[in-house]
């Protein structure tokens, strides 16, 4: 009888264990086991897209799955974030978010469609870098101080281009104008390429742009770099001073990119993505390609990335309020 009861109990235990295993198996399944979609809220060939494609390639190498870049420009960088918010929170949709999308654009809109701090989860910061103040070959400016002196003596006579209203180049230049005490007319374009063409031709005289899109033009002599915006000189252009060195003490502006996911994405999957992204950007090939564009790999935890986002949202909110900048 004891033997029979033991057999029954063993059979029941086996059945329960089997049921539990069936319930646990999906959670234990290898992640990721299929391609990941990476939404990029800017156009193909933009400075953000250039870095995002390096990150996607190196991340795919680390995880053994394809990472499909899905460019969704529009809505002041918010369309791509909206699509990420609406996507299934399963770790198979992520968004590549520049500083403009997370820290700047929300202050320029009356009703932002996305509140990143509420609607999205941080995954990783990928890179940080400089912008560079540029002038065209037809201007007489050999230094940033030359341009500042001219602007002070001729208020409203110079024009500064930006890749778009509310872009880091726009807002960064607004801060420069405020700190230098100059009046320069902002001219927004639909993309950095068009703005650079007019800078080269002399239609506009100044521009602040990310190093990764400006570098080829500076190296070819099509534009002149007057100053970089970071706290130290760029290793790509060690002869170009910082804005602070060039006559605006205390001026420091860095730009960055990161990766976000739908808010309810499982923490375990975010942890995997963070680890793999950090490996991807610091791998020999990943870091080499990122550095060649003028950016620097910046591997941090999701919490550290979100701390940066909060800090820069506050800082740029104050700058935008003072400048009166907005997107209609």
Over residues 196-250, the pLDDT tens digits come to 999 999 999 999 998 888 989 999 999 999 999 999 999 889 999 999 999 999 9
Residue 11 has pLDDT above 80, yes or no: no
Half-sphere CA count of 2, side-chain side, radius 13 A: 0
Residue 15 has pLDDT above 70, yes or no: no
More confident residue, 47 or 79: 79
Pairing of strands 120-129, 93-98: unpaired
Residue 4 has pLDDT above 60, yes or no: no
* Among 19-33, 52-66, 100-114, 165-179, the least confident range: 19-33
- Whole-number average pLDDT of the chain: 90
**Digit-coded pLDDT (tens) for 150-192:** 999 999 999 999 988 888 999 999 999 999 999 999 999 887 8
DSSP for 17-55, written as a single string:
HHHHHHHHHHHHS-S--S-EEEEESS-TTSHHHHHHHHH
So what's the pLDDT on residue 298? 96
Half-sphere CA count of 195, side-chain side, radius 13 A: 28
Residue 54 has pLDDT above 50, yes or no: yes
- 36-128+255-323 and 131-228 share one fold: yes
Nearest alpha carbon to residue 101 among 124, 80, 122, 119? 80
Alpha-carbon distance of 306 to 168, in angstroms, equals 18
Q: What is the CATH number of domain 131-228?
A: 3.40.190.10
> What's the pTM value of the predicted model, to 2 decimals?
0.83
More confident residue, 186 or 9: 186
Report helix, strand or coil for 131: strand
Residue 105 has pLDDT above 70, yes or no: yes
Domain boundaries, the chain: 36-128+255-323, 131-228
For 36-128+255-323, give the CATH class: alpha beta
């Amino acid at each position: 009888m004891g033997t029979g009861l033991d057999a029954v109990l063993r059979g029941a235990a086996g059945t329960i264990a089997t049921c539990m295993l069936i319930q646990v198996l999906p959670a234990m399944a290898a992640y990721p086991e299929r391609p990941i979609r990476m939404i990029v809220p800017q156009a193909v060939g933009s400075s953000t897209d250039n870095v995002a494609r390096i990150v996607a390639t190196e991340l795919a190498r680390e995880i053994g799955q394809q990472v499909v870049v899905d460019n969704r420009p529009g809505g002041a960088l918010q369309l791509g974030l909206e699509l990420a918010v609406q996507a299934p929170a399963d770790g198979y949709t992520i968004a590549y978010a520049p500083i403009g999308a997370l820290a700047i654009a929300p202050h320029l809109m009356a009703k932002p469609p996305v509140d990143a701090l509420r609607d999205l989860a941080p995954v990783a910061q990928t890179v940080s870098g400089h912008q560079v103040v540029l002038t065209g070959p037809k201007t007489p400016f050999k230094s940033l101080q030359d341009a500042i002196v001219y602007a002070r003596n001729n208020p409203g006579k110079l024009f500064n281009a930006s890749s778009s209203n509310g872009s880091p180049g726009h807002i960064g230049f607004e801060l420069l104008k405020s700190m230098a005490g100059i009046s320069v007319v902002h001219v927004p374009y639909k993309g950095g390429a068009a703005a650079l063409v007019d800078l080269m031709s002399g239609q506009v005289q100044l521009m602040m742009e990310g190093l990764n899109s400006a570098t080829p033009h500076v190296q070819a002599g099509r534009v002149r770099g007057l100053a970089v915006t970071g706290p130290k000189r760029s290793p790509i252009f060690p002869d170009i001073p910082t804005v602070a060195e060039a006559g605006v003490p205390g001026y420091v502006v860095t730009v960055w990119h990161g990766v976000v996911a739908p808010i309810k994405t499982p923490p375990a999957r975010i942890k995997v993505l963070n680890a793999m992204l950090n490996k991807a950007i610091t791998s020999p090939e990943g870091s080499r390609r990122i550095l060649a564009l003028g950016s620097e790999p910046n591997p941090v935890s999701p919490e550290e990335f979100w701390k940066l986002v909060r800090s820069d949202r506050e800082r740029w909110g104050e700058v935008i309020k003072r400048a009166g900048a907005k997107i209609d």
